């Protein structure tokens, strides 16, 4: 129990006995929560101390001397009750502060719950990130596998291209070989053409020689016998051929019927411009002669032997020759 108001009739600050009818006032010290009775002379001191005035001034009603014991007891009871009230208020303050503390703790608990909730949200967010990272990793692995496959197919393509290039090179080599063969063939064709041209020139020369030989033969006496025999046996087969390249140039003239043949040799010296015609052989059956000598290339026309058209050369070029 507080003992603040033990001496109910004295001032708490100046300790002076309160006079009868003097209006004392009840103050409370906010720190100690104690109540104190203060005389009117000490109001300002109490105010300066920060005490709080409780209610209106109390007029001390006790008698001096305290003859009225009942009144003193009542006043004492009031003081005790005030002390109890003060104690209750003190307890109430503690309860209030406990309540405030509890509320604060509840608020803290709510804050913690919010933080926990936030943390759970954070955890879920992290889990989502982990899942997305796993997805990303899986996609990256798929891309890597695709890139690997693409790389392999690229390598295969390079190999096939290289093989195609090799094949191409082989073809080129083959083509070059064929080209070489063709060039060789062309070269041999050129050589053959040169040979043909040379032969043509010689042939042309030979034709000229044969014509000269026939002109000599037609001027000789031997033509008269040929013409005579032809009157009875018909036109003969005539073969005129150069018989060598020596000088004078020998030209062999063979005149054949079914049952007889004559062979003459005309020798021409083109340099000396001399000519001789002589009969070299005769016979009955022309089949005893070599086949080349049986080929007809001259005809008896009226009283002279001329070269047949086919004797003028080879193929169409005969027209351009003489």
Residues forming contacts to Zn ion in the complex (CB under 5 A) are 11, 13-14, 39, 42
Closest residue to Zn ion, Cβ-based? Answer: 11
CA angle 200, 202, 206 (to 5 degrees): 110
Determine how many CB atoms are found less than 10 A away from the CB of residue 216: 19
Work out the burial of residue 226: count CB atoms within 10 Å of its CB; fewer than 13 is exposed, 13-18 middle, 19 or more buried.
Answer: buried
**39 or 253, CB closer to Zn ion?**
39
Which token pair is 23? Answer: 């209006």
**37 or 241, CB closer to Zn ion?**
37
**7 or 205, CB closer to Zn ion?**
7
- Least Cα distance to 40 among 57, 28, 54 occurs for 57
**42 or 238, CB closer to Zn ion?**
42
Distances (CA, A) of 144 to 24, 95, 135: 98, 71, 14
Cβ-contact 9, 22 below 8 angstroms: no
Distances (CA, A) of 187 to 177, 179, 199: 15, 12, 18
**24 or 275, CB closer to Zn ion?**
24
User: What's the N-to-C CA distance of the chain in angstroms?
Assistant: 174
**Residue 190: HSE in the Cβ half-sphere, 13 Å Cα cutoff:** 6
CB of 27 vs Zn ion, minimal distance in Å: 11
**13 or 242, CB closer to Zn ion?**
13
CB of 49 vs Zn ion, minimal distance in Å: 13
d(CA 84, CA 234) in angstroms, rounded, equals: 190
17 DSSP 8-state letter: B
CB of 45 vs Zn ion, minimal distance in Å: 8
Work out the burial of residue 39: count CB atoms within 10 Å of its CB; fewer than 13 is exposed, 13-18 middle, 19 or more buried.
Answer: buried
**45 or 211, CB closer to Zn ion?**
45
d(CA 26, CA 303) in angstroms, rounded, equals: 194
CB of 31 vs Zn ion, minimal distance in Å: 20
14 DSSP 8-state letter: T
**36 or 223, CB closer to Zn ion?**
36
Cβ-contact 43, 25 below 8 angstroms: yes
Which token pair is 42? Answer: 């000490």
CB of 8 vs Zn ion, minimal distance in Å: 14
**23 or 66, CB closer to Zn ion?**
23
CB of 52 vs Zn ion, minimal distance in Å: 17
182 DSSP 8-state letter: H
Cβ-contact 62, 7 below 8 angstroms: no
CB of 9 vs Zn ion, minimal distance in Å: 12
CB of 92 vs Zn ion, minimal distance in Å: 30
CB of 24 vs Zn ion, minimal distance in Å: 8
């Amino acid at each position: 129990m507080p003992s603040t108001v033990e001496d109910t009739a004295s001032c708490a600050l100046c300790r002076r006995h309160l006079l009868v009818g003097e209006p004392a006032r009840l103050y409370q010290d906010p720190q100690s929560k104690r109540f104190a009775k203060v005389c009117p002379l000490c109001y300002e001191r109490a105010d300066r101390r920060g005490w709080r005035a409780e209610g209106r001034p109390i007029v001390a009603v006790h008698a001096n001397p305290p003859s009225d014991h009942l009144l003193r007891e009542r006043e004492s009871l009031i003081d005790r009750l005030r002390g109890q009230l003060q104690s209750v208020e003190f307890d109430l303050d503690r309860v209030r502060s406990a309540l405030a503390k509890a509320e604060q703790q509840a608020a803290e608990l709510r804050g913690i719950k919010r933080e926990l909730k936030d943390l759970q949200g954070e955890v879920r967010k992290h889990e989502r990130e982990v899942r997305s990272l796993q997805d990303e990793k899986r996609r990256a692995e798929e891309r890597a596998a695709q890139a690997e496959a693409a790389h392999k197919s690229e390598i295969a393509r390079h190999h096939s291209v290289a093989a195609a290039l090799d094949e191409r090179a082989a073809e080129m080599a083959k083509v070059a070989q064929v080209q070489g063969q063709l060039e060789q063939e062309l070269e041999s064709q050129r050589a053959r053409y040169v040979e043909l041209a040379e032969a043509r020139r010689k042939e042309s020369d030979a034709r000229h020689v044969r014509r000269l030989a026939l002109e000599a033969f037609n001027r000789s006496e031997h033509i008269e016998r040929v013409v005579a025999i032809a009157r009875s046996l018909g036109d003969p087969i005539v073969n005129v051929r150069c018989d060598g390249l020596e000088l004078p140039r020998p030209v062999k003239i063979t005149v054949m019927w079914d049952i007889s043949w004559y062979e003459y040799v005309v020798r021409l010296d083109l340099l000396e411009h001399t000519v001789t015609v002589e009969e070299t052989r005769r016979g009955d059956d022309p089949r005893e002669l070599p086949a080349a000598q049986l080929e007809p290339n001259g005809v008896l026309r009226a009283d002279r032997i001329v070269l047949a058209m086919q004797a003028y050369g080879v193929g169409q070029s005969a027209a351009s020759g003489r």
